[in-house]
C-alpha cells in the first residue's frame, strides 16, 4: 500500500507518556502549597497539552497575578519530583522504533518546555528516533498552528503529507488550524465526545488500535 504520510507528529503527555495523573496531581499539590482551592480533576485535565503558563491560568483563573510565579515554581517542584517514575504507555517504545525503522520522519509537538522535553526524551530513551520537535516556550501554545508550521518548514514536508497524533482537543485544533490531518487517542486526557467533535481521521481507544491504524493507513 502506498504511503499516505511522510511525517508523523506526536504529542507527548497523555499520548506517548502516561503522565496525565501526575500533571493533575502536581497542579493540586501546588494549589495546596500556596493555600488556594484546587481545580476539579476535569478542569485540571483539560489544560494538559497547553504551555505551562497558559495551563495554570486556565486551571486557576482566579489566582492573583502576583502569585503566578510561586504557582509555577511549586508545580514544577512537584512534577519534577516524580517525572522520573513515569512510564511510556505499553507498546510506545516498540511503535516509535518501528516507525523510525520503516522510514517515517517523526517529530514531537508538546506543551512542555524545551528543558522538560529534553529531560523526558532522555529518561524515556526515545530521543534518537525523533527528527525535530517544538515546545511551548519556543512557540505559541496549542491550538495555535505555529508548532506544526515550523516542523513542516524545518523538515520540508507538505502539510498534506503530515499527520498529528494527540490525546487532547488542543492537539486536534492545532492540526485543524494548520491544515494537517489528525488522529485522536482516547486513552489520555480529554473525553471521547470532545475529541470526536473535531473530526479526526480516526479515534483510537488504545495503543494497539493506534499501532494497527498507523501500519494500515499511514
Give the active site residue among 13, 83, 167, 171. 13
Q: What are the percentages of helix, strand and coil residues in the chain, rounded to 5?
A: 50, 10, 35
pLDDT of residue 106: 98
Which overall architecture, per CATH, does domain 20-84 show?
Answer: Orthogonal Bundle (1.10)
pTM: 0.93
CATH fold group of domain 7-18+86-217 = Rossmann fold (3.40.50)
Terminal alpha carbon distance of the chain: 9
Q: If you ran DSSP here, which 8-state letter would residue 88 be given?
A: B
User: How many angstroms separate the CA atoms of 72 and 77, rounded?
Assistant: 9
83 is catalytic: no
For residue range 139-153, list pLDDT tens digits in order: 999 999 999 999 999
**pLDDT for the residue numbered 189:** 86
Asked if 167 is an active-site residue, the reply is no
> Which residue bears the cell 492545532?
174
Q: What angle do CA 10, 89, 167 make, to 5 degrees?
A: 45
What is the mean pLDDT of the segment spanning 24-47? 92
| pLDDT tens figures, 79-135 | 989 888 999 999 999 999 999 999 999 999 999 999 999 999 999 999 999 999 999
The residues spanned by each domain of the chain are: 7-18+86-217, 20-84
Question: C-alpha angle 159/207/186, rounded to 5°?
Answer: 75
Amino acid at each position: 500500500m502506498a504511503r499516505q504520510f511522510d511525517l508523523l507528529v506526536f504529542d507527548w503527555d497523555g499520548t506517548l507518556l502516561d503522565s496525565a495523573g501526575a500533571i493533575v496531581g502536581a497542579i493540586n499539590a501546588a494549589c495546596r502549597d500556596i493555600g488556594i482551592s484546587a481545580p476539579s480533576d476535569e478542569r485540571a485535565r483539560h489544560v494538559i497539552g497547553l504551555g505551562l503558563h497558559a495551563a495554570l491560568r486556565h486551571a486557576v483563573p482566579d489566582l492573583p497575578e502576583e502569585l503566578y510565579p510561586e504557582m509555577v515554581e511549586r508545580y514544577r517542584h512537584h512534577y519534577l519530583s516524580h517525572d522520573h517514575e513515569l512510564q511510556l504507555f505499553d507498546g510506545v517504545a516498540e511503535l516509535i522504533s518501528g516507525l523510525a525503522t520503516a522510514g517515517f520522519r517523526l517529530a514531537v509537538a508538546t506543551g512542555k518546555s524545551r528543558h522538560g522535553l529534553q529531560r523526558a526524551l532522555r529518561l524515556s530513551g526515545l530521543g534518537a528516533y525523533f527528527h525535530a520537535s517544538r515546545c511551548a516556550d519556543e512557540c505559541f501554545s496549542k491550538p495555535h498552528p505555529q508548532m506544526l508550521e515550523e516542523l513542516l518548514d524545518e523538515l520540508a514536508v507538505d502539510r498534506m503529507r503530515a499527520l498529528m497524533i494527540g490525546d487532547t482537543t488542543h492537539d486536534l485544533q492545532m492540526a485543524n488550524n494548520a491544515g494537517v490531518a489528525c488522529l485522536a487517542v482516547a486513552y489520555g486526557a480529554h473525553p471521547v465526545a470532545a475529541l470526536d467533535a473535531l473530526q479526526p481521521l480516526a479515534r483510537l481507544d488504545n495503543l494497539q488500535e493506534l499501532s494497527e491504524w498507523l501500519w494500515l493507513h499511514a
